Amino acid sequence: MTSSDLQAVRDHIASRIIGQQAFIDSMLVCLLSDGHLLVEGMPGLAKTTAVKALAESIEGDFHRIQFTPDLLPSDLIGTDIYRHEKGEFEFRQGPLFHNLLLADEVNRAPAKVQSALLEAMAERQITVGQKTYPLPQLFMVLATQNPVEQEGTYHLPEAQLDRFLMQAVVTYPNRDEELRILELDSEQQRHHPTPPSRRLSQAELFAMRRAVAEIYLDPRLNHYIVDLVQATRHPKLYDRDLGRWCRFGASPRASIALARCARARAWLDGETFVTPHHIQSVAPEILRHRILLTFEAEAEGVTTDAFIKRLLSLVAIP
């Protein structure tokens, strides 16, 4: 399998949304790396549309959940139903048992619902009472969230944020892209959206994941990855200001994610080995939700992305 085999998926997503190439690449990297994706952006930026387009391109079950403050854990997991004819309880599976799950506006649900999602994302299983149920082999959560400054939103727990392999940020389109969005909307009003030319089978996807795992990662780049993650925990060793701005650094999951996603990025680029550029290109999406800045940094207007950019410029490349 080669990256050209994913072209039909990329083309279908691009036919539904205009621009946002970095976001599309993040979805594909996350898919190839067998991880979950958190997507943040203001309302109306086609986050949900893009995720739906990805789901349409892949063979498997898809389900969308609109997260709201009154959502219950059983609305995700499922529940035991008593069957009078059998005289016993029977488990009815919830939406988490689908292959692709769109958790729309995930940060509008309370803590109990987030906890229910946590086991599924981390362990690929669901526990109800004394029974544990495995999830499908292909299981991916694509969660969208509005910025926490929006009314009625909650901060996601750090433990759950760490389970997301990547966090993509969707920004406003430029003027030319917005004109093309108007043209696309007019066309879709006249004609139904075109379905994908072909759907990627799960067997093909798993073969791609095996091919990604075979991409060569030099041991020196393993050291570079660890140095980057260590630098988020001890930033004052690299820069005095960085030390003032960071409260908590990234966990070892960030090191694993950097290696996995760098391999996927290299494979998408048609390369057979990972370079420092591949690591640096995926680092912002992997680190931005795993680093907690200080109040001092927020007061000075320092963003997590600015912190990561400066860190990447200071850590030595092998």
Question: Hunting for tokens 């433990």 — which residue is that?
Answer: 159
pLDDT tens readout for residues 90-113:
888 888 999 999 998 888 888 888
Q: How far apart are alpha carbons 140 and 142 in whole angstroms?
A: 6
Q: Are residues 19 and 128 in the same domain?
A: yes
Q: What is the pLDDT at residue 152?
A: 65
Pick the closest to residue 262 from 294, 285, 230 (CA basis): 285
Measured in residues, the chain has a length of 318
Angle at 206 between CA 202 and CA 208, to 5 degrees: 115
In a domain, 275, yes or no: yes
Q: Are residues 60 and 181 in the same domain?
A: yes
User: Where in the sequence is the domain holding 306, given as residue range(s)?
Assistant: 215-314
> 288 with 304: CB under 8 angstroms?
yes
Asked if residue 191 has pLDDT above 80, the reply is no
Residue 304 sits in a domain of what CATH number?
Answer: 1.10.8.80
Name the domain boundary from 189, 223, 251: 189
Q: Are residues 222 and 144 in the same domain?
A: no
Q: Are residues 169 and 231 in the same domain?
A: no
> Chain-wide mean pLDDT for the chain?
88
Note the pTM of the prediction, 2 decimals.
0.89
Question: Hunting for tokens 């036919």 — which residue is that?
Answer: 15
Q: Are residues 7 and 118 in the same domain?
A: yes
Q: Are residues 236 and 294 in the same domain?
A: yes
Structural domain count, the chain:
2
Q: Are residues 153 and 223 in the same domain?
A: no
pLDDT tens readout for residues 111-120:
888 888 888 8
| Residue 153 identity (one-letter amino acid) | T
Q: What is the pLDDT at residue 1?
A: 65
Split at pLDDT 50, 70, 90, the class of 151 is low
Q: Are residues 82 and 156 in the same domain?
A: yes
